[in-house]
Amino acid sequence: MVYLVGLLLIVLLGIAVAVAAKLQNVMGNIKSASDDEAPVPNNKINGALWILFLIAGSIGMVWSYLSAEAYFLPEASSPHGRETDSQFWFDMGLLTIAFFAVNFLLFFFAWKYQYKKGYKATFYPEDHKLELIWTAIPAVIMAVLVFLGFRSWTHIMSDAPADAQVVEIMGKQFGWVVRYGGIQDNKLGNYNYKLIDDNNSNPSGIDYSDEASFDDFINVSEMHVEVGKPVSLKIRARDVLHSVFIPHMRVKMDAVPGMPTKFWFTPDKSTEQMRAETGNPNFDYEIACTEVCGRGHFAMRLRLIVEDKASVDAWKQQQKPVLSQILEANPKFISKIPERLRAKAMDYAPYVEEIDITTATTGSATATSTSFR
């Protein structure tokens, strides 16, 4: 180690000596020249290189854009997505014009006003008119961009329409749990993270002291929504930070533990329509997680199926409420529901045997053959 440090010191010392010698040579040339004329080696070559870099850089910029175009987001399938895209490309258009204009002048002036014998530089210690122009124009442009962006953001993040489809999506390691408000009232029941229990098939922590929860059902493989109707997503996380991303719908919102978030959108192209437009019979909208949440992050993918109202209603009719599944697996769960709601709760478990509630919690419950509907 000592020898390595010594070798590095010798190399650095050699570099320092070389730089000092070069500096001394430059200073000698300056002193030998006249007071107003200094030698400029390779002046014309350097001037030409400015133009060469300008052309090459412009070609490289255009090429990089065209080559990356295949990786851009797909065409939006929601009104707010197209609004967002229009705003983005308008902003990018203005910034691109400014970028090329400024850099063209920078490189062109460096070539145009390269050193030539007899040239004298002109200095402006102050020019209030020029300063006003180059301050006011960017300020006005930025104010317009901020206003347009704020208007779009306010519209996108406004409250969902009253008739929106309400769907809850919860992120967990490593998958999504989608909960629907049943088929009767489209109303989600309450939840409580303390009630989460995979063993009792209640992964969402549904609170059954709220009777609106009785017909709630969940799905972990796909989400069905109606085309042309607003969708209100209620977003939460069960364990760590996740992020709901639906690229075609331009939906992107973090799922944060302990802090429910939301996002609403209107899908105006059905899955079948997209399959016809893309020519891909296997096309599916996808919901992904864009927040690295652990080793199984890659598996957090969910199909989004956009279809007509009749198809969505038919699919919902085939789903079984979570409460029904819980009671079939563990009839004693009925004891955890408020007594005034137990009769109604049993309506959602028509083939579960009657439980003697007074002894259900002691482990000695008695069952009869009575069925409930």
Query: What integer best gives the mean pLDDT of the chain?
Result: 83
Tokens representing 261 are 């978030």
Residue 53 predicted with pLDDT over 50:
yes
Instruction: Identify the pLDDT of residue 4.
Output: 65
> What's the burial of 16, exposed, middle or buried (CB within 10 Å: 0-12/13-18/19+)?
exposed
Q: In the beta sheet, which residues pair with residue 361? A: none
Instruction: Identify the pLDDT of residue 78.
Output: 93
Higher pLDDT: 42 or 245? It is 245
| Residue pLDDT, tens place only, 250-285 | 999 999 998 999 999 999 999 999 999 989 999 999
Instruction: Identify the pLDDT of residue 325.
Output: 81
Half-sphere exposure of 68 (CA within 13 A, CB side): 8
Average pLDDT over residues 60-76: 90
Tokens representing 36 are 């107003």
| Residue pLDDT, tens place only, 202-252 | 778 888 888 888 888 888 889 999 999 999 999 999 999 999 999 999 999
| Residue pLDDT, tens place only, 320-329 | 888 888 888 7
Residue 370 predicted with pLDDT over 50:
no
Q: In the beta sheet, which residues pair with residue 373? A: none
Q: What domains can be seen in the chain, in order of their start residue?
A: 165-322 (2.60.40.420), 330-360 (no CATH)
Instruction: Identify the pLDDT of residue 204.
Output: 83
Instruction: Identify the pLDDT of residue 29.
Output: 61
Instruction: Identify the pLDDT of residue 369.
Output: 30
Tokens representing 44 are 């014309």
Query: Using an 8 Å Cβ cutoff, are 282 and 194 in contact?
Result: no
Instruction: Identify the pLDDT of residue 202.
Output: 78
Instruction: Identify the pLDDT of residue 267.
Output: 94
Query: Using an 8 Å Cβ cutoff, are 235 and 255 in contact?
Result: yes
Residue 358 predicted with pLDDT over 80:
no
End-to-end CA gap in the chain: 83
Tokens representing 60 are 């490289």
* pLDDT band (50, 70, 90) for residue 30: low
| Residue pLDDT, tens place only, 143-155 | 988 998 898 888 8
Q: Can you tell me whether residue 321 is helix, strand or coil? A: coil
